[in-house]
A and B are shown apart, each in its own frame.
Chain A
Amino acid sequence: MKDITLKHRRAGFALDAEFALAGARVTALFGPSGAGKSTIIAAIAGLIRPEFGRITIAGECVFDSQSGIFVQPRARRIGVMFQDLRLFPHLSVEDNLFYGWRRAQSRPARGAADEVVELLGLSQLLKRKPQALSGGERSRVALGRALLMGPRALLLDEPLASLDAARKAEILPYFEKIVRETRIPMLYVSHALDEIARLADHMVLLDHGRVVAEGPVFELTARLDLFSGSQLIPGTVLPATVLRHDEVHGLTEIGVGAELLVVPRVMQNPGNDIRIRIDAEDVMLSLTRLEAVSANNVLPATIADIRKNGPHADVQLQVAGARLVARITRRSLQRLDLSPGLPVFAVIKSVTVGGREG
């Protein structure tokens, strides 16, 4: 049985979703606004009572419409980081952070709690009031507050949506650290593929209140039927291994399947598993192996599937046992006469390396 089964109706909106959280540490709930993401979060947290369904968190049923189970939010031990953060304006950063900790039955030891505060870089800000913090600092306080209550699961409702790109880049490493160092299952709501690519293992795609697809991030991001046609730029997320550093040129060689990629020097040690993301727009296709080209990464590939999308065509490639998507123009598609099964070379212009291990 799936962990989450929900049916809920609101004026002009019906939610009918079912998905599993099993095994995955970070599950991304992905979909456009109005897809029902926030309703699902509210239902899991116990802030709304769905009409029908069943919710199981860490093996314990917190809601079951059939047997009339409805565990109150304060007894669920589910940490929530709200989109609008909801810090208590009259309390200091410290009192905000420890609000849940002070009330928790099974909470991290004081020392461990202080470590989380340190990890989030908040030790120097404890005496301040939330309104005296920057947007990024406030996000960290909200994350810390949810973590310190010792939750069985963490719900993150578009935690970065209100931040600009620079702030987002500042905060994401903290999330990666938290994902790496805690074992708390997380449900991460977002409509930004780059965040999901960096953080999530499992992905649930939601649209109009229904689950369109669910599965490992590595599989889902390369599926043309899901992303082609949407305004989103598909970007493939791939597991990779750090092979060796080229200190002379400030580069790192990483292995993706049997192939080798060269990326700017990463902070991970050789042997470490990482994940990389390649935007479809950063992949060019060539019928011959280009020797005199500035891009370092040219991989032999086979076209698996092609989907036309407005002026573009998304081409799914089979590369070294993994799938990669290239977005080219319709004109190029015609000019090169590309079709499924054709061997080509993928010229990769840019690779984004995520901080967390694959």
Chain B
Amino acid sequence: MGGILTAAETEALLLSLRVALAAVVVDLPFAFAAALLLARSRFPGKWLVDGIIHLPLVLPPVALGYLLLISFGTRAPLGSFLLENFGMRFVFSWTGAALASAILTFPFQVRAIRLSLESQEAGLSDAAGTLGASALDRLFTLHLPLAAPGILAGVITAFAACLGEFGAIITFVSNIPGETRTIPLAIYTAIQSPGGETEAARLAAMSILLALAGLVLADIAGRRARLAIGR
């Protein structure tokens, strides 16, 4: 990549991809569980759970970054507990960027998966039941495969949203080259420095290409997944 991108650009690109990937992978099982809960069960206080899951959609990212900073900071109770017992540190680390991105894009995954679960005919599950399948069995042989297009759509949307995350990252884990300076932060840094316009433009172009590639990929993958489950 040396020919086209500078070392700093490559660094920002790879970091962005790493942060986004970690965020969506960590999110997925929780997002599926939350989607299943919201799509399939009724319980008192469901509206509250629904609201909390969707809170990141309306919460200012900077505010979330601040909340994370005061809870995961090395002197905060939660942060010091994790550091002392597990050696985990989120502040000023790329894992913190991933954590912030994961929380912010969690609702994207939940929504897409929930929709695909809700569109599944309840009758199929009944049919599988009469054929001897337990609830867990049905989850893995029926609901999960049939939700594949939704899972894929959710993962790709969340991934794309992660790539654009700025406010929470800069507030929570700062702007450290090679550690937390993802593409949006690199663009911001370039604009702030004198004569950085060209650099900012190159990075912006890269973001756009990345987003376009994501869209195309999402479309192809969505088609394949729908074909596989016969929709």
Contact = CB atoms under 8 A, between A and B. Distances in A.
Interface stretch (B58-66, B122-130, B204-212): B122-130
A259 B157 CA distance: 77
Interface string B128-141: 11111110010001
A157 to B, nearest CB: 11
A90 B127 contact: no
B123 A82 contact: yes
Interface stretch (A70-78, A188-196, A220-228, A248-256): A70-78
Contacts of A75: 132
Interface of B: 121, 123-124, 126-134, 137, 141-142, 145-146, 228-231
Contact of A90 (B121, B137, B146): B146
A173 B134 CA distance: 34
Nearest to A102: B132
A269 interface: no
Given A86-B121, A131-B230, A74 B127 contact: no
Given A103-B131, A149-B131, A90 B126 contact: no
Nearest to B124: A86
Given A89-B229, A90-B145, 18 more contacts: A45-B130, A47-B126, A47-B129, A75-B132, A86-B124, A86-B127, A88-B128, A88-B142, A89-B231, A90-B230, A99-B133, A99-B141, A103-B132, A103-B133, A103-B137, A129-B230, A130-B230, A146-B130
29 contacts: A45-B130, A46-B130, A47-B129, A72-B129, A73-B129, A74-B129, A74-B131, A75-B132, A78-B130, A79-B130, A82-B127, A84-B123, A88-B124, A88-B127, A88-B142, A89-B229, A89-B231, A90-B145, A90-B146, A90-B230, A99-B128, A99-B141, A100-B131, A100-B132, A104-B132, A130-B230, A131-B230, A145-B131, A149-B131
A149 B132 contact: yes
Nearest to A104: B132
B146 A73 contact: no
A242 interface: no
A336 B230 CA distance: 63
A117 interface: no
B130 A73 contact: yes
A130 B131 CA distance: 17
Interface in A54-107: 72-80, 82, 84, 86, 88-90, 99-100, 103-104
A74 B229 contact: no
Nearest to A45: B130
Nearest to A155: B130
A153 to B, nearest CB: 11
Contacts of A130: 230
B231 to A, nearest CB: 7
Given A73-B129, A78-B130, A99-B133, A90 B229 contact: yes
A100 B132 CA distance: 6
Contacts of A45: 126, 130
A144 B18 CA distance: 49
Nearest to B225: A90
Contacts of B127: 80, 82, 86, 88
Contacts of B129: 46-47, 72-74
Nearest to B230: A89
Contacts of B131: 74, 99-100, 103, 145-146, 149
A75 B135 CA distance: 12
Contacts of B142: 88
Contacts of B132: 74-75, 77, 100, 103-104, 149
Contacts of A103: 131-133, 137
A141 to B, nearest CB: 12
- Scoring B131, B146, B231 by chain A CB atoms within 10 A of each residue's CB, the highest score goes to B131
Contacts of A84: 123
A46 B131 CA distance: 12
A74 B133 contact: yes
- Scoring A74, A75, A78, A79 by chain B CB atoms within 10 A of each residue's CB, the highest score goes to A74
A80 B130 contact: yes
B230 A86 contact: no
Given A86-B124, A90-B146, A74 B231 contact: no
Nearest to A78: B130
A131 B145 CA distance: 16
A260 to B, nearest CB: 47
- Scoring B126, B132, B141 by chain A CB atoms within 10 A of each residue's CB, the highest score goes to B132
Contact of B130 (A76, A90, A129, A131): A76
